[in-house]
Each structure stands twice: as C-alpha cells, then as structure tokens.
C-alpha cells in the first residue's frame, strides 16, 4: 500500500531537518572551524591591522603600532597600545582580507619591559565593508562584553555562541590595567555559502537588534613620555 504524508507532516519534517542541519553546523564550528586566521602567523599583512590611535613616545615611534598587536608576538616590545589618554571608544581593527566564518577570538596583553598592560574586558564589532559596523550582542540584544585578560602573557579564548560571517573585526577595550594594550587572534574558517549558520552585518540603516556604527578613520597620536 503506498505511503502518503500530509502537508503538515512534510512541513514538520522540513523543520526538523533544518534544526538538525543547524545543530550539525554549530557542532562543526566547535570542533573544526576554529583555525587561526592569520594574526599570529603573519598571513594578515601589517597594513591590514589598524587602530583608532596608537601611543607614540616620540615622533616616528612604531613600538605600539597596530601591527604589533599580533598574538604571541614577543620580538622587542609587543602589543598594540592606544594613546595614553585613551578612553572607551578606542579600537583595534583586523581586515581578514576576505569574508570569513568567525567563531572565536583570542586576546593577550602587551609585553613591555615596563610597565605591563592589558585589557580586562572588551566589546566586539564586525563588518562586511568597513563602513557599517555591528556590535556583537547577547541573546537579549544588548552589547556583549567579553572577559579579557588578567595578566600580560596568558591567552584568553572567547568562542562566539553565534558565529559571524564577516571580513572586518574590531576589538573595543572597555576596561584595562594601566593602559589599553592588546595582542589578538581571530578564529574561524572560510565563510559558509548561502544556507550556512553565520550572521552577517546588516546594511546601513537596517535595524536588526544591533547598533550600526559609522566608519571612523584611525588617528595617529603622539604622546609625551612624561605621561608615564
């Protein structure tokens, strides 16, 4: 006798299949899609790492430049540092070069002879075009504040509950020890094609529960050594 299924049954089966696919994609994120995307290895070039400001103890000083903010960099002074008078709103930005499926981030503090500095909490922003920025949010729509570091050397990993498909990532310090200084890595893999589980940033003016942030150009700031 032939088997028949009702439209309701077919709809329920389709929903179940989508749920299984989503679960499998998230499981894949946790176990497979967490490769380092090029900060530590140097695959991301220096000019793809920018910041809202950088500390300069004298003209031409590059010891605290954005490209120094690579995870586990230990040669000489290591770590990006914002201007010494920095307040909340500073950022370190990474251009991944192409769309990536981002599943996590790693942070460290800055390694200086003296003093040591690190960021204790931060927010994350992301974009597909470096023009419209979205702040990574919790399930209730509020900005997610990530736990940062408690010393200058120990890496802290934060996996994203909801991965994102993006090209640009920004780290925005919210609290810090002595001064803002970070070394970072971005974790993930190649961006999924249509039907994947990643969230992308909305177009300008579209409300998707997150704030859209206009692009801000980086500044180049000189800081007198006397501030330290």
Q: What size, in residues, is the chain?
A: 228
Q: Decide: 39 and 70 in contact? Cβ < 8 Å.
A: yes
Same domain membership, residue 120 and residue 22 = no
SS (H, E, C) 62-90: CCCCHHHCECCCCCCCECEECCCCCCECE
Same domain membership, residue 92 and residue 7 = no
Same domain membership, residue 96 and residue 19 = no
Query: For the chain, how many structural domains are there in total?
Result: 2
Q: What's the CATH number where 115 sits?
A: 2.60.120.260
Beta-strand pair 92-108/181-190: antiparallel
Same domain membership, residue 89 and residue 10 = no
| Cα angle for residues 44, 47, 52 (degrees, 5° grid) | 110
Same domain membership, residue 106 and residue 2 = no
Same domain membership, residue 115 and residue 81 = yes
Same domain membership, residue 219 and residue 109 = yes
Burial of residue 121 (number of CB atoms within 10 Å: 0-12, 13-18, 19+): middle
Distances (CA, A) of 111 to 50, 53, 92, 171: 19, 18, 16, 18
Same domain membership, residue 58 and residue 1 = no
Q: Which pTM was predicted? A: 0.76
Same domain membership, residue 188 and residue 93 = yes
Cα 15 from Cα 116, distance rounded (Å):
52
Same domain membership, residue 40 and residue 20 = no
Distances (CA, A) of 52 to 58, 165, 198: 18, 23, 27
Q: Is 52 helix (H, G, I), strand (E, B) or coil?
A: coil
Which residues constitute the domain of residue 154?
Answer: 34-227
Q: Is 77 helix (H, G, I), strand (E, B) or coil?
A: coil
Same domain membership, residue 24 and residue 5 = yes
Same domain membership, residue 13 and residue 73 = no
- pLDDT tens digits in sequence order for the chain, 228 residues long: 555 555 554 555 454 544 444 444 455 555 689 999 999 999 999 999 999 999 887 787 778 899 999 999 987 668 999 998 779 999 999 999 999 999 999 999 997 666 789 999 999 999 999 999 999 999 999 999 999 999 999 999 999 999 999 999 999 999 999 989 999 999 999 997 644 456 666 555 544 444 444 444 443 333 333 332
Residue closest to 213 by CA, chosen among 123, 85, 99: 123
Give me the residues paired with residue 185 across strands. Answer: 106
């Amino acid at each position: 006798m032939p088997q028949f299924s009702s439209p309701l049954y077919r709809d329920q089966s389709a929903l179940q299949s989508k749920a299984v696919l989503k679960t499998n994609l998230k499981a894949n994120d946790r176990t497979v899609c967490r490769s380092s995307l090029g900060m530590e290895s140097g695959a991301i070039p220096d000019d793809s790492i920018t910041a809202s400001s950088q500390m300069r103890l004298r003209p031409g000083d590059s010891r605290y430049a954005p490209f120094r903010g690579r995870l586990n960099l230990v040669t000489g002074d290591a770590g990006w540092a914002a201007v010494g008078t920095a307040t909340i709103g500073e950022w370190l930005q990474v251009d991944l070069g192409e769309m990536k499926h981002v599943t996590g981030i790693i942070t460290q503090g800055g390694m200086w002879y003296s003093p040591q500095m690190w960021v204790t909490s931060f927010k994350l922003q992301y974009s597909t075009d470096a023009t419209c920025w979205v702040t990574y949010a919790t399930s209730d729509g509020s900005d997610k504040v990530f736990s940062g570091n408690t010393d200058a050397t120990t890496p802290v990993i934060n996996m994203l509950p909801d991965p994102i498909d993006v090209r640009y990532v920004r780290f925005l310090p919210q609290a810090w020890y002595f001064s803002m200084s970070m070394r970072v890595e971005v974790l993930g893999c190649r961006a999924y094609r249509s039907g994947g589980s990643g969230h992308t940033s909305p177009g300008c003016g579209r409300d998707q529960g997150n704030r859209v942030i206009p692009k801000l150009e980086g500044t180049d700031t000189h800081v007198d050594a006397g501030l330290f």
